[in-house]
């Protein structure tokens, strides 16, 4: 019995949590070789999203605020395709071509995370795909809500 228990424990450790690829038509299709999202156990890892309109696959007009809104809506679509919501997001990374756009991006970002915002990093990069000004990626975890 003891050997069987050890064998079962080792088997479950070796297989680990299942990996599920998330894809939705409500967010832009991948521009390269990557998945829109990957779920492993209760965690969901989203690929970075830029402000592409899913229908036209073109960058939205209106500058960094319009791009930020569209990027978050794209992330939200992938979250929802996996059965998650913005309330499940625990970590966000924001990449800006110009750190001078931080305040403009943050004004839009704040409208999506008004209560219990996730941890976040924001940094400037040399360039982003498609001439975008901002790229946003998220990590979400399903679990117990806050007490």
Q: What is the pLDDT of residues 19-66, one digit of tens each?
A: 999 999 999 998 789 999 999 999 999 999 999 999 999 999 999 999
Has domain 17-141 been given CATH number 3.30.1330.40?
A: yes
Cβ(89)–Cβ(120) under 8 Å?
no
Residue carrying structure tokens 């450790």: 13
**Residues composing the chain:** 147
Domains of the chain by residue range? 17-141
For 132, other C-beta atoms within 10 Å of its C-beta total 22
Q: What is the pLDDT of residues 72-103, one digit of tens each?
A: 999 999 999 999 999 999 999 999 999 999 99
């Amino acid at each position: 019995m003891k050997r069987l228990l050890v064998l079962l424990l080792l088997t479950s450790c070796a297989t680990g949590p299942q990996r599920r690829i998330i894809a939705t038509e409500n967010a832009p299709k991948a521009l390269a070789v990557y998945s829109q999202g990957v779920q492993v156990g209760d965690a969901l890892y989203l690929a970075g999203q830029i402000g592409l309109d899913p229908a036209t696959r073109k960058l939205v007009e209106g500058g960094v605020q319009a791009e930020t809104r569209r990027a978050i809506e794209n992330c939200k679509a992938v979250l929802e395709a996996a059965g998650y919501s913005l309330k499940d997001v625990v970590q966000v990374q924001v990449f800006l071509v110009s750190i001078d756009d931080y305040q403009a991006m943050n004004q839009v970002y704040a409208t999506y995370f008004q209560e219990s915002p996730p941890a976040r990093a924001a940094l400037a990069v040399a360039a982003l795909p498609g001439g975008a000004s901002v790229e946003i990626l998220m990590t979400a975890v399903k679990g117990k809500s806050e007490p």
